[in-house]
Amino acid sequence: MRIETNNGRMTPRERVLCALERGIPDRVPVNYITNPTVHGRLAEHLGFVKTEMEGVLRALGVDFRGVYAAYSGSPLFEAPPGRQVDPVYGCIMRWVPNKDGGYYDFCDFPLKDAAPEMVEAFPAPSPDDFDYDTAADEIKAFAAENFAVWIGGAGHADIINATGRVMGMEDTLVNLQVEDEATLAYIDRRISMELSVLERLLDRSAADITFVWMGEDLGTQISPMISLDLYRRVFRPRHQRYIDLAKAYGKPVMVHTCGSSSWAYDDFVEMGVSAVDTLQPEAVNMSPAYLKGRFGDRLAFHGCISTAGPLAYGTAEDITKNVRETLEIMMPGGGYMLSPTHAIQDNTPVENIIAMYRAAREYGGY
């Protein structure tokens, strides 16, 4: 089964670049982000094994491909019994089952209530210890098929979440507000590592990379998570380093921001951001109409199809209507890329996922 058989007048790379530049492509580009459990059900429904990804992306007509350089160094962190540990960031996770599947959630927080010397000693990997050869091969292969290839990701540059996963959110937010020296030094070690990894990928594969993706969750559902003053004092200079690196190689930047985060978008424009991602329509000042009217002449958009709305809780007809109405708002003038707001969750019916991508094809052409 394939949702699209005609690839259109543009290649996926051309289509995404056009949208990132707020132009009008042949059709709205589409992306796919999902939890493993529901992905397995979708893959089997489409005739693949549960772990198949590339076949599913092609069946859905997805324009984007992401590539990471995997960590290949010696273990820096030890997982407690019954836990997993991230080999790059040291965050500890446990499996949390639910009636539809399950997911790994963060726990234990090794730097919670930690003394400054413990924070100062918490390691960040060396940029030498990543597999750039495999990543470069993957980038080259995807680029040869004219996919839009991104590096980085929604968690790259993320100060609040990445720190909160090892320190806990309360300590993280307090330490950021008071500009705790040890905490900021740890954050800067992590940022320097990420930037070095990105730079090495850009050095090797710039011609084949379409854009750089970064992220910072800045809002709750109803309000900002931090003040604009704190953003400008602590976050903006660090985020600017990622944007400047991408711009040095001529690459657009897309920023992932969860929750009510449009309060920071004027700063993003000043910093050189091309597109914003996630765009949870149920959060304050994040509706498609508000975003398009307020920022549509300065930013491109990626997201808007809520994983907590009709996609999960409605019918196939409901999500078709939701996609059509979103496209009617976001398509005029170009600059829109359709995507779920987050990873599609385990409670989402497979039929709704398929309806979402069919509706994108039916209503997303210019």
Query: What DSSP string runs through 275-326?
Result: EEEE--TTSTT-SHHHHHHHHTTT-EEEEEE-TTTHHHHS-HHHHHHHHHHH
Indicate whether 90 belongs to any domain.
Answer: no
Residue 5 pLDDT: 44
The model's pTM is: 0.96
Domain carrying residue 243: 12-76+111-363
Indicate whether 355 belongs to any domain.
Answer: yes
The Cα 75–Cα 18 span in angstroms is 42
Residue 4 pLDDT: 55
Indicate whether 122 belongs to any domain.
Answer: yes
Amino acid (one-letter) located at 39: H
Per-residue pLDDT of the chain (366 residues; tens, 9 = 90+): 556 545 579 999 999 999 999 999 999 999 999 999 999 999 999 999 999 999 999 999 999 999 999 999 999 999 999 999 999 999 999 999 999 989 999 999 999 999 999 999 999 999 999 999 999 999 999 999 999 999 999 999 999 999 999 999 999 999 999 999 999 999 999 999 999 999 999 999 999 999 999 999 999 999 999 999 999 999 999 999 999 999 999 999 999 999 999 999 999 999 999 999 999 999 999 999 999 999 999 999 999 999 999 999 999 999 999 999 999 999 999 999 999 999 999 999 999 999 999 999 999 999
Indicate whether 92 belongs to any domain.
Answer: no
The whole-angstrom distance between residue 95's C-alpha and the CA centroid of its chain comes to 22
Indicate whether 2 belongs to any domain.
Answer: no
Contact 70, 7 (CB under 8 A): no
Beta-strand pair 275-278/101-107: unpaired
Indicate whether 192 belongs to any domain.
Answer: yes
Residue 8 pLDDT: 73
The Cα 37–Cα 39 span in angstroms is 5
Indicate whether 331 belongs to any domain.
Answer: yes
Indicate whether 4 belongs to any domain.
Answer: no
CATH number at residue 227: 3.20.20.210
The total number of structural domains in the chain stands at 1
